[in-house]
């Protein structure tokens, strides 16, 4: 079936606002549309909405929240925006950046106060590039809790989520006005749904090998750690409607996935004073630059493998993450009482491990910066028992996508908005620019939650304003 149909066959049902995708972006859009007085319907291909949101750590950066104030953290949307733009090397679109950074604090407070999602701030370590502690998570620090709580909020607002509905094509006029969609059901039957406005919240193209090979060739053979159902439908539909695509090579990688267990090991193990060594026992980069660019750094080492080295104190901090507890339960986290025992467990010559760890200890004592540019000041010494996890690099999600304005309206290649099409989350271009190194922690859920909320509200306002 073509991606875009221009027929005028009847629809089985017509809804005011249709939302494709039931991840964080789609569910936040649904809540916002409902609050703006419109009954949206979410179409989700899976039997249960999960998406990459469920696989994530569920951490959302936001400035000026009630949770930050309760933890005594001073922060502002302006410094948040500055941090994002510094990491993105100035490539984030200023209009989108402004609305998502200004809207993040209110969005977290909205989810907490109105929908009962009790966010707290991660206050015991800093994420690379954030000038304030502003990562907000639910109790388990797991995305599965986030998606379950969002789904519960949507259900209790009386919003319909049609599951097992894979949207296969859009129906649009030759001028690019979306009239509806065609969804395929698990039994192979098709339903035609009309809509007055459409929100694309079906994430990016991480699950589509061909698109990854085209736009991110360096990761074409890497493990994809996101949701396999994210096949790039939003960008393919948008492109066919004449929408602009931006920063298609942008993505979030991660260089700390326990191997072969396939479990995310929090970057807290690095930021609190740990380091990465290759299988020869040598450090190979500035780990504090960020976990996104770590994917390529680790995959560039022999065998595409590295060891995260840290200690029991740091493991105690990382244990707040459900994923880290799972990694421990799976036997991915090794412990050793001495450097020599650590070397033996890692099959690395003891003199090499000792030289690496002693040089790190020396840098910490001198509050020095190493040859890779990592500043070690203020980080405590690693002390026995030592911990180690064998890790590899992976593609987590794509950050390139449909060009949008500050109201989440999808823009044509020439910059004018399409009449009634909105995009949020991984479907829209993010605020990370065209490289993995432009990704600041939390940029993924930031545009899912905040732009999702904006897209839902704006789609509802558009529909309400129509005669
Ligand atoms: C392991 C991991 C950890 C991460 N941790 C974090 C973190 O802590 N903080 C952060 O900010 N970001 C994190 N991310 C990134 C984050 O998960 C994503 O940026 C975010 O979940 C995107 O939300 P979304 O709603 O756009 O997409 P998703 O949550 O992926 O939802 C998209 C939905 O659309 C559905 N869909 C797709 N195509 C169709 C179709 N044709 N028809 C119907 N339905 C369709 C999918 O089934 C899916 O349910 C992480 C990612 C991974 C993989």
The closest-lying atom of ligand 1 relative to the alpha carbon of residue 445 is 11
For residue 196, the CA-to-ligand 1 centroid distance in Å is: 25
pTM over 0.75: yes
First to last CA, the chain: 33
Q: Which of 91-97's residues contact partners 24+ apart within 8 Å by CB, and which partners?
A: 91/247, 91/432, 91/433, 91/434, 91/438, 92/431, 92/432, 92/433, 92/438, 93/246, 93/429, 93/431, 95/405, 95/406, 96/404, 96/405, 96/406, 96/428, 96/429, 96/431, 96/447, 96/451, 97/431
CA distances from 19 to 35, 50, 422 (A): 15, 15, 9
Best of 202, 321, 422 for a ligand 1 pocket test (most atoms within 8 Å of beta carbon) = 202
Beta strands 333-336 and 386-398 are antiparallel
**Are the CB atoms for 18 and 25 separated by under 8 Å?**
no
Close Cβ partners of 292 (under 8 Å, ≥ 6 residues apart): 251, 252, 253, 254, 396, 432, 436, 437, 439
Give the model's pLDDT for residue 33.
98
DSSP line for 286-313: -GGG-HHHHHHHHHTSGGGEEEEEEEHH
Give the model's pLDDT for residue 124.
87
Spatial separation of the C-alpha atoms in residues 69 and 61, rounded to whole Å: 14
Helix, strand or coil, per DSSP, at residue 213 = helix
For residue 132, the CA-to-ligand 1 centroid distance in Å is: 25
**Are the CB atoms for 249 and 429 separated by under 8 Å?**
no
Give the model's pLDDT for residue 126.
87
> In terms of Cα–Cα distance, which of 397, 307, 323, 395 is closest to 357?
307
Close Cβ partners of 166 (under 8 Å, ≥ 6 residues apart): 45, 183, 184
Q: What is the CA radius of gyration of the chain?
A: 23
Q: Is 153 left (phi over 0), alpha (psi -120 to 50) or beta?
A: alpha
Instruction: Indicate whether residue 137 lines ligand 1 (CB < 6 A).
Output: no
For residue 130, the CA-to-ligand 1 centroid distance in Å is: 22
Instruction: Indicate whether residue 130 lines ligand 1 (CB < 6 A).
Output: no
Give the model's pLDDT for residue 467.
75
pLDDT digits (tens, 9 = 90+) for 228-262: 999 999 999 999 999 999 999 999 999 999 999 99
Residue of minimum CA distance from atom 15 in ligand 1: 444
- Say what percent of the chain tops pLDDT 90: 98
Instruction: Indicate whether residue 264 lines ligand 1 (CB < 6 A).
Output: yes
Q: Mean pLDDT for each 10-residue chunk of the chain (467 residues)?
A: 91 98 98 98 98 96 98 97 98 98 98 97 91 97 97 98 98 97 97 98 98 97 95 97 98 97 96 97 96 96 97 96 96 97 97 97 96 96 97 97 98 97 98 97 98 98 91
Instruction: Indicate whether residue 292 lines ligand 1 (CB < 6 A).
Output: no
């Amino acid at each position: 079936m073509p991606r875009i149909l221009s027929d005028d066959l009847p629809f089985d049902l017509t809804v005011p606002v249709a939302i494709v995708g039931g991840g964080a972006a789609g569910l936040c859009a649904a809540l916002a549309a409902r609050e703006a007085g419109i009954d949206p319907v979410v179409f989700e291909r899976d039997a249960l909405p999960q998406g990459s949101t469920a696989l994530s750590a569920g951490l959302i950066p936001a400035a000026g929240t009630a949770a930050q104030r309760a933890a005594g953290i001073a922060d502002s949307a302006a410094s948040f925006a500055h941090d994002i733009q510094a990491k993105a090397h100035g490539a984030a679109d200023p209009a989108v950046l402004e609305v998502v950074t200004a809207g993040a604090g209110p969005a977290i407070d909205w989810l907490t106060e109105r929908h009962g999602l009790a966010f707290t701030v991660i206050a015991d370590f800093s994420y690379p590039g954030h000038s304030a502690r502003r990562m907000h998570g639910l109790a388990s620090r797991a995305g599965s809790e986030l998606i379950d709580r969002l789904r519960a909020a949507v259900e209790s607002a009386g919003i319909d989520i049609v599951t097992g509905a894979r949207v296969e094509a859009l129906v649009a006029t030759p001028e690019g006005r979306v009239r509806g969609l065609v969804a395929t059901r698990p039994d192979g039957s098709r339903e035609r749904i009309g809509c007055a406005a459409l929100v694309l919240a079906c994430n990016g193209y991480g699950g589509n090998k061909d698109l990854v090979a085209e736009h991110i060739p360096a990761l074409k053979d890497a493990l994809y750690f996101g949701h396999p159902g994210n096949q790039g439908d939003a960008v393919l539909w948008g492109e066919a409607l004449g929408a602009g695509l931006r920063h298609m090579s942008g993505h979030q990688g991660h260089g700390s996935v326990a191997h072969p267990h396939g479990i995310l090991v929090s970057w807290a193990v690095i930021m609190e004073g740990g380091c990465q060594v290759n299988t020869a026992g040598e450090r190979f980069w500035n780990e504090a630059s960020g976990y996104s660019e770590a994917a390529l750094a680790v995959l560039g080492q022999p065998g595409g493998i590295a060891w995260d080295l840290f200690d029991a104190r740091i493991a105690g901090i990382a244990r707040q993450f459900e994923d880290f507890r799972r990694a421990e339960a799976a036997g991915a986290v090794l412990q050793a009482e001495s450097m020599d025992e650590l070397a033996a467990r890692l099959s690395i010559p003891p003199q090499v491990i000792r030289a690496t760890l002693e040089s790190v200890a020396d840098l910490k004592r001198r509050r020095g910066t190493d040859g890779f540019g990592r500043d070690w000041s203020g980080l405590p010494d690693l002390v026995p028992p030592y911990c180690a996890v064998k890790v590899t690099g992976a593609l987590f999600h794509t950050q390139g996508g449909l060009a949008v304005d500050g109201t989440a309206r999808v823009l044509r290649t020439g910059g004018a908005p399409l009449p009634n099409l909105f995009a949020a989350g991984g479907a829209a271009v993010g605020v990370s620019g065209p490289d993995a190194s432009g990704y600041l922690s939390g940029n993924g859920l930031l545009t899912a939650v905040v732009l999702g909320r904006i897209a839902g509200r704006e789609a509802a306002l558009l529909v309400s304003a129509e005669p």
